[in-house]
Amino acid sequence: MATRYLKHPNPPTTEATEELRTRVSEILRDIESGGLDAVRRYSRELDNWSPDDFVVSDAEFERASAGLDDGIKQHIAFAQNQIRTFATAQRGTVRELEVEVGEGVLLGHRLIPVNAVGAYVPGGRYPMLASSFMTVLVAKVAGVKQVVATAPPQRERGIHPTMLYAMRTSGADAVLCLGGVQALAAMAFGLIDGLAPVDMLVGAGNAFVAEAKRQLFGRVGIDLLAGPTEVLVIADACADPRLVATDLLGQAEHGPNSPAGCIAIGEDVARAVAAAVEDLLETFPTADVAGQAWRNHGWIAIAEDDEEAVAIADAAADEHLEVQVSEDKLDWYLQRLTNYGSLFLGDQATVAYGDKAVGTNHVLPTSRAARYTGGLWVGKFLKTCTYQRLTPQGTRLVAPAVAAISHEEHFEGHAMTAEVRLASLA
């Protein structure tokens, strides 16, 4: 049965234009050949920023820290502790392994942290404090030796002071005041004196940053390719329409291309939410941005029952999924929903909690990527590397099958490596 809509979806275009792809490719090639001089040229042209050193000094950090209110420092510390506690608990669920799978055949895996990570902390429209909690701090919990954090200058005055404080106190080994494609290239190519090339790039950014990560993938690892942030709310008759509307617009304020959707169980609920959104936009503090996002990309689906709501939500595979239904149904939804970046159960769990301070990570899949991946977590910074150890009895057990399979595949050299070992034991 086709889904009914009170307001039809209109997903934003997430594919990079040919012009953007070409421009990013040109910048990367130019920087790879031109080195730090090219980085400095692009920073000056694009951000009007060309300091003597892109690495933020201890003195600059101390000045930024001294100017901050103790209250915001305490709130940052609270959020960092929440994220650290959850990431540490997650790390405890993944363990190294060693098992004997046959006489003389010992197999195992080690969990080895990535050596060097570059974390991009976006700071264009808003000073994004929490982004460093999710990238820098979680990487350090995983055991990454070198984490370099970078953020663009704001209004030609360097990194926003509170952002800088959040980056350093999250555990960054070095902080760069550098934005855009040039920042990712500098970290990936190892162009900053004293800093090794990074092995992995993480963190969200604008379309240029996302395209640079895509083009650098393979040369370095990445967390995921993120598009505009998304929110989806499942609401039944128990939900407060104004609370649903607040959460929809609260996430839509990220940008005019941020989709916000609601799956309403029943037409009455759908209409109540739609009316609440329009009413709230009259006084919403960021209505200029959130209203444009809602008008262009907001949507409301009408589900006949809970089963259809789950089906619509799984098909949408949104980044953030809130479930505002009667309390007795929350566990039912938890067990049945399969496609989402992060799940918020009950009317007291809102996306903003996950974005800022509750403890889970906010770097999440968008554009339906939740169908095949989860978001950034401590395990993303760990390589699961296998090993084998065999005794002569292990060769007697394994070599005959290896030789036979290799001969059948016409890999005679492979077969020989097994057969010579077997023959040496005769």
Structural contact between residues 239 and 350, judged by C-beta atoms closer than 8 angstroms: no
- 60, 253, 319, 322: the catalytic one is 319
In 3D space, the residue among 296, 329, 301, 295 whose CA is nearest the CA of residue 315 turns out to be 301
d(CA 21, CA 214): 10
Question: Which one from 297, 320, 322, 362 is the annotated catalytic residue?
Answer: 320
Report the candidate in 331, 338, 272, 340 with the shortest Cα–Cα distance to residue 300.
272
> How many H-runs (helices) and E-runs (strands) does the chain carry?
16, 14
| Residue in the structure block whose two tokens are 């999440």 | 364
Is 109 labeled as catalytic in the residue annotation? no
What's the start-to-end Cα distance of the chain, in Å?
Answer: 68
Q: What are the tokens at 292?
A: 């444009």
Please state, in angstroms and rounded to a whole number, the distance separating the CA atoms of residues 342 and 351. 9
Residue 320 designated active-site: yes
> What element of type H or E holds 99?
strand 97-102
CA distance 339 to 317: 5
Q: Residue 300: count other Cβ atoms within 10 Å of its Cβ.
A: 26
28/347 Cα distance (integer angstroms): 45
For residues 322 and 263, what is the distance between their CA atoms, to the nearest angstrom?
Answer: 10
- Active-site annotation, residues: 319-320
